[in-house]
Structure 1
Amino acid sequence: MQHVRSHKTMLTSALLAILLFVSLMLPASAATWNLTGDTNVHDPSYIVENGTGTHWVFSTGEGLQVLWSSDGKHYNRSLPIFTSRPSWWSQYVPNHTGLDVWAPDIFYYNGTYYLYYSISTFGSKVSAIGLVTTNSISGGVWTDRGMVISSNNSTNYNAIDANIVQGHNGKLYMAFGSWSNGIYVTEISTSTMKPTGNSYRVATKSGGIEGPSLVYNSNTGYYYLFVSIGTCCAGLNSTYKIAVGRSTSPFGPFVDKNGVDMKNGGGTVIDSGNSAWVGPGGQDVYGTNVIARHAYSVAENGAPKLLISDLYWDSSGWPYFN
């Protein structure tokens, strides 16, 4: 019996060693974080504040909604960014009323936090992207920097859903746009943080495309364009999915895993939801290792909720998460 027990002990130790080795070699299942607290959001933009380590999430809603967390897991709702309308809103989007603000993007650059956002009305190209700044998110004091780019019925693009990235050359680029007019990219000034020249279309998709997130991964040498395809904002009837393509240039062409140009409808789907979460989209990639997005909770009858996951890259240089 002693011999048998010794044999079992050796076998157990060997199995444990194998499991430990595997756990060290593989990522933690590209884990989706276990979030608690107030996590109701649409179109989240996520950042960790320098110095304080506080996790912040900005999202579509009245006055532009704000969540914060000390540990990245349990979230609380803070005061909105806007309590009154900047005067220029009515000039560029006359039909916009109230304080409904869409699709923010938070970007840190040279000691300042730049918060881009959109004002528009559903189904309209009369839109504008605005900008507010602060040196301390925790301080809660934001300065209005006015209109960044606007659109109307005669422009090629729709000026919503801004996202900023710093490229391999130190230059800054903004992706924006939606639906039949597609996604555009333009270079922005490092001093004004507003466009310096032309905007170039990089993606289209019949049936809906919006919410671009432009990411540069220095490890792979590619720019990645994450987009939301399908339709949003219909609860459990939403058809949003997250798709991606990549390019060696911020201006494209962005192609998917099959080599199809996103300007011609390409895009590799990396999240289409599951039995618990419907319509994932409105995504934001923080750095190159965290992705935030919203999805509709089946358990809560279609409530829009914040999801955050670790983002990983396979051996071929493509992103994935659980």
Structure 2
Amino acid sequence: MMKISSKRSKLTILLLSLMLLLSVVFPVNAATWNLTGDTNVHDPAYIVENGTGTRWVFSTGEGIQVLYSTDGVNYKRSGKIFNSRPSWWSNYVPNHTGLDVWAPDIYYYNGTYYLYYSISTFGSKISAIGLVTTTSISGGVWTDKGMVTYSNNSTNYNAIDANITQAANGALWMVFGSWSNGIYITSISSSTMKPTGNSYRIATKSGGIEGPSLVYNSNTGYYYLFVSIGVCCSGTSSTYKVAVGRSTSPTGPYYDKNGIDMKNGGASVIDSGNGAWVGPGGQDVYGTNVIARHAYSVAENGAPKLLISDLYWDSNGWPYY
């Protein structure tokens, strides 16, 4: 009996050692959170409200759609941000009708929540980024701050898909833009939270690039530019993928894992979907450890759904989940 027990113990130790080795060589990606409730979204922007701990998700749709969760798992739908059109929308995007609003981004700074959003029409560069603010998301009272920046057929960029980040030195930056015009970056005033200077192109990609999310990771010393490449908005026929590049400066250059400049088409894919979820994209990185995005559900005939995962960083300083 002692001999058999000894063999079993040795086998157990061997199996445990092998599992430990595999976990080091092949790190286990974080499982996507098991969300429940109302998770219908497109282009989600995720934030945890100070004081309450409530998770809020703002997304593309009529008046800017809003979800909330008190536990981070079960989501319910709240009232939309806009019930009527601000008058300035028609001045900058005259062909826009109704309350359809795209790709919001939520950012907390000095006691105020800044909610950026886009007004445009499909296939057009006549676009504008707007801003509303509040000191309490739960309070539900938002103040219109008007136009942030706009574009037309004479500009190099398309003014949609804004995302705000703070650099290591405290400076604020906004990335924005899409498709053949590429992704741009511009400095932001800490008082107005609007652009203060010129915009610079930092990424392009044939076949589609949009939805930038810029993150500084103090542990690695890099700025990471997350983007959606490919085509969205076609259900299970969508080809969206989440990709990334990094730089030591917020203004770039940003390089992918192969050392290709993102201005020249570089982009390392970190999520191309799977058998259950097609076309992941419209991503938003919260802090440096949570990533939210939408993907089209195969089980629900291509309905866009909210996915949230823990974000990890490998030994070479690249993100994965």
Describe the shift of the 1:156–1:305 C-alpha distance in structure 2 as closer, same or farther (beyond 3 A).
same
* Aligned-partner Cα distance in 2 for 1:263–1:18: 42
Question: Within the alignment, does 1:207 sit opposite 2:201 as a pair?
Answer: no
2:196 corresponds to which letter in structure 1?
T
* Aligned-partner Cα distance in 2 for 1:28–1:35: 20
* Aligned-partner Cα distance in 2 for 1:129–1:241: 24
Task: State the match for 1:217 in structure 2.
Answer: 217
Describe the shift of the 1:108–1:28 C-alpha distance in structure 2 as closer, same or farther (beyond 3 A).
farther
Offset, 1:30:
2.0
Tell me the alpha carbon deviations over residues 124-166 of structure 1, each in whole angstroms, 9 at most, x when there is no partner: 1110000011111111111111100011110111000000000
Describe the shift of the 1:243–1:196 C-alpha distance in structure 2 as closer, same or farther (beyond 3 A).
same
SS in 1 for 2:173: strand
Give TM-score, length-normalised by structure 2.
0.95
* Aligned-partner Cα distance in 1 for 2:245–2:27: 23
1:160-175 map, 5 Å: 160-175=160-175
SS in 2 for 1:317: coil
Task: State the match for 2:259 in structure 1.
Answer: 259
* Aligned-partner Cα distance in 1 for 2:258–2:7: 51
Describe the shift of the 1:248–1:14 C-alpha distance in structure 2 as closer, same or farther (beyond 3 A).
same
2:138 corresponds to which letter in structure 1?
S
Give TM-score, length-normalised by structure 1.
0.94
* Aligned-partner Cα distance in 2 for 1:73–1:128: 33
Task: State the match for 2:189 in structure 1.
Answer: 189
Percent of counterpart pairs with the same letter?
A: 81
Tell me the alpha carbon deviations over residues 190-229 of structure 1, each in whole angstroms, 9 at most, x when there is no partner: 0000000000000111111110001111111111111111
* Aligned-partner Cα distance in 1 for 2:229–2:14: 47
Q: Say what the alpha-carbon RMSD is for the aligned residues.
A: 2.0
Offset, 1:32:
1.1
Question: Within the alignment, does 1:139 sit opposite 2:146 as a pair?
Answer: no
Describe the shift of the 1:275–1:58 C-alpha distance in structure 2 as closer, same or farther (beyond 3 A).
same
* Aligned-partner Cα distance in 2 for 1:123–1:114: 27
Q: How many pairs align?
A: 321
Tell me the alpha carbon deviations over residues 37-66 of structure 1, each in whole angstroms, 9 at most, x when there is no partner: 110110001011111011110000011000
* Aligned-partner Cα distance in 2 for 1:5–1:152: 77
* Aligned-partner Cα distance in 2 for 1:307–1:271: 12
1:67 corresponds to which letter in structure 2?
L
* Aligned-partner Cα distance in 2 for 1:166–1:25: 34
Task: State the match for 1:152 in structure 2.
Answer: 152
Offset, 1:23:
7.7
2:298 corresponds to which letter in structure 1?
V
Bigger mean CA offset, 26-35 vs 106-115: 26-35
Question: Within the alignment, does 1:269 sit opposite 2:269 as a pair?
Answer: yes
SS in 2 for 1:39: coil
Offset, 1:12:
5.0
CA contact (8 A) 2:29 2:320 kept: no
Offset, 1:294:
0.5
1:263 corresponds to which letter in structure 2?
K
SS in 1 for 2:90: helix
Bigger mean CA offset, 2-11 vs 154-163: 2-11
* Aligned-partner Cα distance in 2 for 1:284–1:245: 15
Question: Within the alignment, does 1:32 sit opposite 2:46 as a pair?
Answer: no
Task: State the match for 1:112 in structure 2.
Answer: 112
1:277-296 map, 5 Å: 277-296=277-296
Task: State the match for 2:123 in structure 1.
Answer: 123
Bigger mean CA offset, 292-301 vs 21-30: 21-30
* Aligned-partner Cα distance in 2 for 1:270–1:285: 13
CA contact (8 A) 2:149 2:159 kept: yes
Describe the shift of the 1:38–1:21 C-alpha distance in structure 2 as closer, same or farther (beyond 3 A).
same
Offset, 1:180:
0.8
Task: State the match for 2:91 in structure 1.
Answer: 91
CA contact (8 A) 2:313 2:319 kept: yes
